[in-house]
Amino acid sequence: MARARAFRDRDFVALLIGTALLYVACVPLMNGDVRNYLIPWTHYLLDHGRFAAFGDNFSEYAPPYLYLLALGSWTAPVIGVVPAIKLVSIVGTIVLSVAMYALLATRLTRRQALSGAALTLIAPTAVANGPVWGQCDALYTSCAILAVAAFIRQRPALAMMAVGAALSFKLQGIFIAPLVLAMLLAGRARWWTLAIIPATYVVAMLPAWLAGRPAIDLALLYLRQGHHYHDLARSVPNVWQILRALVTIPYPVGVAIGLLAAAGATIAVAWRTRRHLLQPEDVVLVALLGAIVVPYLLPKMHNRYFFMADLLAGAYVFLRPTTRAFWIVRLVTIGSLLSYATFLLHLTGGAFVGAFAMTAGLVLTWREVRERLPDGRGVTPLAEAAHFKGSCPQFIKE
């Protein structure tokens, strides 16, 4: 880790060259999502004039990703449709690396932050998700990581804008909710800033609306996505993968229990950690706990939905390189990779085994929170006021 946090110039060169070769080797790889969804969507954009196509409901994904796919499609006549699709994913991974630099730079030196950003390019699930799979989870995760960095720098309005951008790409941006709520409860962000999130979403949907897509369709986009399938778990390493192998749970009952459990966990994490948001690594730890526990408890999750947790675990071990932090990033990454393998490699039982690794990672993360961020019982009102005064003077003034 000492070497990784202080790359020399030749280390950067070697890593970037190796990354470029790795990405190029991944471009021809095919899978069911590319074949059945991404290629037809790209052809639809090409056949319907790109901008005009935004007015049609031809894709399950939100319009902001389709905007980028349309831009990437300009290269299709030269490099081919599949490389054009993968190009969008690779650019998203590079943006993720930049976001990681912005986060790590809140605590580490410029050289250390650059080292972490460079290593993000070859993080196992970053490579598997983007260059291999051709997916776009790096886009909403980049926005979420930028939101964490903005919260650390005490720029809550910018953080809320980043959260809104994350939600504009995918609903999975909601996994940052425990940190957002903790910041609100701590007075580190005003409650009115929540309005920035839907405002950002509206701005992101404007091109599609101008192209002719109904506003009600754009407003209910994620609600309708929730009706596409009726599985409590779909190759995801969470608790529902384990439970459905042990007992039969009716779908409506499981959905209700999962939603209530995730909402309760969000509130509990925010309330438990609201007094511990001064140090950058502690803010990242709260974000990491939320990014694990929310998709762990929610039903109807997919195998890629711990992607944000994978990257935040990597950021945390870079900021606080302890033995437990190393085990957290190992377990979370292994859990995700095993679930990826169920789709990419048709590995039977990968997600089920991965669920136990993710459970262990969640337990260790919770133990890290308990030890690093004491619950504050016995803290006097004056001491608590002093904490808030130091972190957000405007809170005391109001």
Q: H or E segment at 302? A: strand 301-302
**3-state SS assignment for residue 203:** helix
CA distance 343 to 152: 36
Reported as a pLDDT band with limits 50, 70 and 90, residue 387 is: very low
Instruction: Evaluate if residue 142 carries a pLDDT over 90.
Output: yes
List, for residues 356-377, the tens digit of each pLDDT value.
999 999 999 999 999 988 875 4
| pLDDT at position 234 | 86
How high is the pLDDT of residue 389? 45
Give the mean pLDDT of 86-101.
96
Q: Does residue 318 carry a pLDDT above 90?
A: yes
pLDDT confidence of 2, banded at 50, 70, 90? low
pLDDT at site 376: 55
Give the chain's domain count: 1
Q: Which two tokens stand for residue 184?
A: 């609100």
pLDDT at 388 over 70: no
Q: Could you list the residue range(s) of the whole structural domain that residue 346 is in?
A: 4-397
pLDDT for 34 beyond 50: yes
Distances (CA, A) of 330 to 188, 194, 313: 32, 34, 9
pTM to 2 decimals?
A: 0.91
CB distance 139 to 246 below 8 Å: no
DSSP state of 312: H
pLDDT at 248: 87
Residue 238 to residue 296: CA distance in whole angstroms: 5
Highest mean pLDDT among 4-13, 207-216, 243-252: 207-216
**Residue 395 confidence (pLDDT):** 36
Mean of pLDDT over the chain: 90
The helix-helix angle for 63-73 and 196-210 (nearest 10°) equals 50
Helix 156-169 vs helix 63-73: crossing angle, to nearest 10: 70
Q: In this predicted structure, which of 162-176, 232-246, 321-335 has the lowest mean pLDDT?
A: 232-246
pLDDT in tens, 242-263: 998 888 889 999 999 999 999 9
The tens digit of pLDDT for each residue in 57-77 reads 888 899 999 999 999 999 999
Which residue matches tokens 């809320």? 160
Mean pLDDT, to the nearest integer, of 122-140? 95
Query: For residue 391, what are the CA distances in angstroms to 102, 189, 196, 240, 394?
Result: 21, 11, 22, 39, 9
Q: Quick one: pLDDT band at residue 378, thresholds 50, 70, 90?
A: very low
What distance, in Å, lies between the first and last C-alpha atoms of the chain? Answer: 44
- Please say if the pLDDT value at position 391 is more than 50: no
